[in-house]
Structure 1
Amino acid sequence: MDVEVPTRTVVEALVRVDGTVEAGELYEVADALGMSDQQVRLCVKRLVAEGKFTVDGRGRRAVLKMTPQARRAAEPDVEFVRFMYRQDAGEAQWDGVWHLVAFAVPESQRPARDALRDAIVRFGGAPLHGGLYVSPHDWEDLVEGEATHLGVLPSVTFLTSADLRIGRERSPAALASRLWPLDEVAARHERLAEVARVRLRRLTEGASRTDLLRIAVELAAEFTRAVEPDPLLPPVLLPQPWIGTQARALVARCWDALGTRSAELPALFRMYHDAVEVLR
């Protein structure tokens, strides 16, 4: 099964611990993914223009260096990944409390209002009514931090409840299926599971360094595509067995297989390997 990987993702995924990318290796991996040299050159040019990389040298002998600001922005949230796997392993039980956030940001601060709404959804919140969102997770610090950054904290209200009801429906699992697009989330994880199965077979058969990096980049791209829109609901709120748990377990096995050759892998994949330590 082929995986669609943006050229930018390939460049960022190949950053080593010292913040550099060897252009020769970048072109080899990109070629293995079906990308042209011209495609890579244009992407690198854009990344340099955006201030995310500098380049020393020319052509395949060049060395790209990621700027400190870009490295901080590109690093995965390791604690988020750890929490995901802890919850999958049954180590993070839901306490039955719903966490609600309401905001009434004035029209004069519309950009900040839109940014806050986007952040709340990114944190896994589901809309109940206009300006009112809910999550089963303790997310107050995340929302407060974002609201403070946007300068709208005085317009935000926080509350919790153990008795959420929509109409006559109060079953937590039924509410979750109504509030979050679980079918769409499941479909993304179905694809992730199939991608991981194929890559796991390749890893057990042995792979060259270029193949190893290609597999790692494909896994990272598909993992991100599946996980970013996932609200990571507690297992008690999800249909069982849940495909998300199965898919992420397969990916963890891939990281484990890749981890046996961690000295050959860029920094990103070492982080992923360390983040799934909970499963061992």
Structure 2
Amino acid sequence: MERPGNVDMVPFLFGVAGREWLPGPALVRMCTDAGLPAATARTTISRLRDRGGLESERRGRHLEYRLAGATAAAFTRLERARPPADDWDNVFHGILYTVPETERAFRDALRRSAVLTGYGHLRAGLLIAPRDAWPTVSAQMPPVPQGARVAPLRLQLAPDDARDAAAQAWDLDAIAAALDDQRRRLDESLAAADGPPEPSAESLRAYLDLVRPVFRALLWEPSLPAALLPPTWPRHELLASLHRALAHHQPAARRYADALLEQ
């Protein structure tokens, strides 16, 4: 499954700014301050919009953007950061698909949208999730090409089989290790930090370099009910470390973004 490259920087910048809509010039400037060349920043924004992850609206001389589709759903899930739910009805919601190799672009777009919305890949042609996100996926899905089939389904398993399916679909051992690695990295960074940073392009870049890998790890962590998770799951400890890091670094990044948006 494809992992985000530069494209995932854009949603994080919306989080830094704390605003629903961002003017195009300010968004490009924030991308360049975060380390992207201007041309790459514009291409990245266009690519995300073409995928349905941004929508735009002309206001005066410039376009303004906001998050949309599966990208908006994924980052809303991150912001809420809720603990694992206990109210699961023991039913997976699935997406069953067959796509000719000649339509690889459609297959990749379907998988990307589904994974961002919370689905895991149980086996070839079958994605599963503990909650039904088919309306979000289907709304963003391109037209189904000739020869392809895509359909939602429900899958009920015995509890032990359901836990095994979750461990396989989301590779939970690898995700747990990644979450714990990020916790250690945050704790080490905070232990070495001096006083709070001042607002600047450098503090924005340092903030993104610190927290973006954490949010990436959390983005690929599924929102599974407690019944499907291993007994020791490191999310709570990581979120505690993340909140300490945000308290130290985010105010300077937010003030810098506010200053750019007021220009």
TM > 0.5? yes
- Out of 239, 243, 253, the residue aligned to residue 248 of structure 1 is 239
Q: Distance in 2 between matches of 1:49 and 1:127?
A: 29
The answer for unaligned runs of 5 or more in structure 2 is 47-60, 259-263
Query: Structure 1 pair 72/126, CA: closer, same or farther in 2 (3 Å)?
Result: closer
Residue 172 in structure 1 maps to residue 162 in structure 2 = yes
User: Displacement of 1:226 after TM fit?
Assistant: 1.0
Bigger radius of gyration among the two: 1
Counterpart-to-counterpart distance in 2, 1:92 and 1:144: 27
Match of 2:77 in 1: 80
Deviations 1:58-88 (A, max 9, x none): xxxxxxx98524x547x865422244x12x2
Q: Percent identity?
A: 22
Structure-1 separation of matches of 2:244 and 2:216:
18
Q: Identify which of 36, 44, 64 aligns with 1:68.
A: 64
Residues 93 and 132 in structure 2, CA contact (< 8 A), matched pair in contact too = yes
Contact 1:186 1:243 in 2 (8 A): yes
Partner of 2:218: 227
Show the counterpart of 2:52: none
TM-score, normalization: structure 2? 0.65
Structure 2 CA distance for partners of 1:206 and 1:182, relative to 1, 3 Å = same
Q: Does residue 1:191 correspond to 2:181, yes or no?
A: yes
Does 2:201 correspond to 1:207?
Answer: no
RMSD over aligned Cα atoms? 4.3
Query: Alignment partner of 1:102: what SS?
Result: strand
Q: Say which structure, 1 or 2, has more relative contact order (CA 8 Å, 6+ apart).
A: 1
Check the 8 A contact 1:203/1:257 in 2, yes or no. no
SS for the counterpart of 2:235 is helix
Are 1:143 and 2:137 counterparts? yes
Aligned length: 230
Q: Deviations over 1:82-128 (max 9, x none)?
A: 44x12x2x567433221122123456655323422333334333334
Q: 1:144 to 1:130 in 2, by over 3 A?
A: same
From 116, 120, 125, give the equivalent of 1:131: 125
Residue ranges of structure 1 left out of the alignment (5+ in a row) = 31-39, 53-64, 268-280
Q: Which moved more, 1:206-215 or 1:133-142?
A: 206-215
